Amino acid sequence: MHEESTAGPSARMHETTGENEAVLDLVLEYSRNRLTARDLPLDKSVSSADLRRLAPPAVTEDGIGAARAMAVFEHVLAPACITTDHPRYLSFIPSAPSKAAAAFDIVVSASALYGGSWLEGAGAVHAENEVLRWLAGEFGLPAGSGGVFVQGGTLGNLSALVAAREDAREAARGRGTAPGRWAVVCSAEAHSSIASAARVMDVDVVAVAPGEDGVLRGDAVRAALAEHGDRVFAVVATAGSTNFGIVDDLAGIAEVTTERGTWLHVDGAYGLAGRLSARRRDLFTGLEHADSVIVDPHKWLFAPFDACALVYRDPDRGRRAHTQHAEYLDTLTETKDWSPSDFAAHLTRRPRGLPTWFSLATYGVRAYREAIDAAIDLAAEVGRVIAGRPELSLVREPQLSVVVFERVGWSKADYDAWSARLLDEQLAFVTPSSHQGRPNARFAIVNPRTTIEDLTAILDTMA
């Protein structure tokens, strides 16, 4: 046992003392219990008034102590958060981190690692780059492709589009021309982060209508490029839309962008993990021509929040757009070292790719392929169940692991009441969605622990 610190009170938080060993025991015990629990509750949100009543102020001049703080978290705050890795959390795009990935996230924090530069975090960056090279290979991108792990798909898309615009600016300067307004082309069903990135960049969005099946095709992109000309600096194709899990016609779009020399970015935040499955690999033909891609390991690659892998075909194009220059950074920017801060709109970063690296190293890629296959198979199976029930109607056949369906005769209010009842009864978390003004229900399946029995039990409540 370490003696209590005799240094001033300012060192109390940082020295290894009996008090801090007790803090560590509390945290590790809670973490172990959470990671080994076999039947976690879904839990649910509560009102701000209830939280103020149940959790009195903890941030005070003298604090309340680790034991009381942990008790407040365990018994008040945590139950007011929905459990995103629960097998019946089927809304939005769930998270289902592997046990190894979640456990190693603790190691990342405990190790005080900085992942912004090679100088400070070479070992961590090396491991992250191993994952990025593996992903690039799975996507058919050439040797030499690379990038960085960022916070999430919104930052990944923004960073890729900033690099694309910088590339287009350089080309325009070489031609001695410049458009009045830059524009990005994408599907009308593209993720909302594309419009968000465009607002931040102050550029226009040319939203192109996909086909009736939700797929954006090359001919539609060709028409948009012909209309908007050189002011289009990038085309964004979606590889697994959030609402339906639809993959755009990547091969057809790539043919058009290659002809015109336009940057092709593929937003695969959720669905690009499907490329690992032999069952759906053909859906992603053309991906190998992308100039940049993103995929979020915290979605369908079983990592904890938050992690998005951004991969460039030519990383130097990302580096030119994003390297920050300052006198205190000269020691970093004057070298050829691979510093992750050079490839996205960030500087400070934790090595958030390490839990993915550890999980892949622990279980092997085959386990990932099998888990992704299982989700695709389960989506197809529940789709058949839905098609066989007269009170239900599939909106579209599932391509990946998102299943969208309607309860015949229900209004938005009916879906809302049903969803609230499911959560109140702790049966499932399934929020209503909509398409073309019609309300619907939606299963987003990524958790390998979700079963057909779970899904049919939910469907039974709609009878």
Residue 261 is part of a domain; what is its CATH number?
3.40.640.10
Is the same domain home to 327 and 387?
no
Is the same domain home to 273 and 408?
no
102 contacts 274 by C-beta, under 8 angstroms: no
Name beta bridge partners: 433: 440
Tell me, what's the pLDDT at 332?
Answer: 64
CA diameter of the chain: 74
The string of pLDDT tens digits covering residues 120-134 is 999 999 999 999 999
Which domain-ending residue is among 300, 329, 362?
A: 362
Q: What is the mean pLDDT of residues 136-149?
A: 98
CATH number assigned to the domain comprising residue 411: 3.90.1150.10
pTM, whole model, 2 decimals?
0.95
What is the rounded radius of gyration, in angstroms, for the C-alpha atoms of the chain?
A: 24
Is the same domain home to 397 and 271?
no
The string of pLDDT tens digits covering residues 201-226 is 999 999 999 999 999 999 999 999 99
When the pLDDT of each residue in the chain is averaged and rounded to a whole number, the result is 95
Which domain-ending residue is among 329, 346, 362?
A: 362
The string of pLDDT tens digits covering residues 84-115 is 999 999 999 999 999 999 999 999 999 999 99
Which domain-ending residue is among 318, 344, 362?
A: 362
CA distance 455 to 441: 12
**Residue 372 in domain:** yes
Is the same domain home to 285 and 191?
yes
Is the same domain home to 370 and 300?
no
The string of pLDDT tens digits covering residues 348-397 is 999 999 999 999 999 999 999 999 999 999 999 999 999 999 999 999 99
Is the same domain home to 344 and 427?
no
Is the same domain home to 345 and 391?
no
The string of pLDDT tens digits covering residues 39-73 is 999 999 999 999 999 998 999 999 999 999 999 99
**Residue 41 in domain:** no
Is the same domain home to 357 and 369?
no
**Higher pLDDT residue, 135 or 4?**
135
**Residue 155 in domain:** yes
Enter the DSSP assignment of 407. Answer: E
**Residue 145 in domain:** yes
Is the same domain home to 355 and 430?
no
Q: How many other β-carbons are positioned within 10 Å of the β-carbon of residue 47?
A: 9
237 contacts 185 by C-beta, under 8 angstroms: no
Domain with 154 in it: 113-362
CA distance 168 to 164: 6
pLDDT at residue 308 greater than cutoff 70: yes
Is the same domain home to 186 and 311?
yes
**Residue 156 in domain:** yes
190 contacts 154 by C-beta, under 8 angstroms: no
Is the same domain home to 301 and 287?
yes
Question: Residue 415: which H helix or E strand, with range?
Answer: helix 412-424
Tell me, what's the pLDDT at 8?
Answer: 66
**Residue 40 in domain:** no
Q: Any residues with CB less than 8 A from the CB of 1 and at least 6 apart, and which?
A: 18, 21
Is residue 1 very low, low, confident or very high in pLDDT (cuts 50, 70, 90)?
very low
pLDDT at residue 3 greater than cutoff 60: no
pLDDT at residue 7 greater than cutoff 80: no
Classify each residue of 247-272 as buried b or exposed e, where b means 16 or more C-beta atoms within 10 Å of its C-beta: bbbbbbbbbbbeeeebbbbbbbbbbb
DSSP of 361-372 = HHH-HHHHHHHH
Q: How many other β-carbons are positioned within 10 Å of the β-carbon of residue 24?
A: 13
Burial class (CB in 10 A: 0-12, 13-18, 19+), 145: buried
159 contacts 322 by C-beta, under 8 angstroms: yes
Helices (H) and strands (E) in the chain, counts: 16, 11
Is the same domain home to 188 and 261?
yes
Q: How many domains are contained in the chain?
A: 2
Instruction: Write out the two tokens for 71.
Output: 């008790």
**Residue 247 in domain:** yes
**Residue 231 in domain:** yes
User: Do strands 392-394 and 308-312 pair parallel, antiparallel, or not at all (unpaired)?
Assistant: unpaired
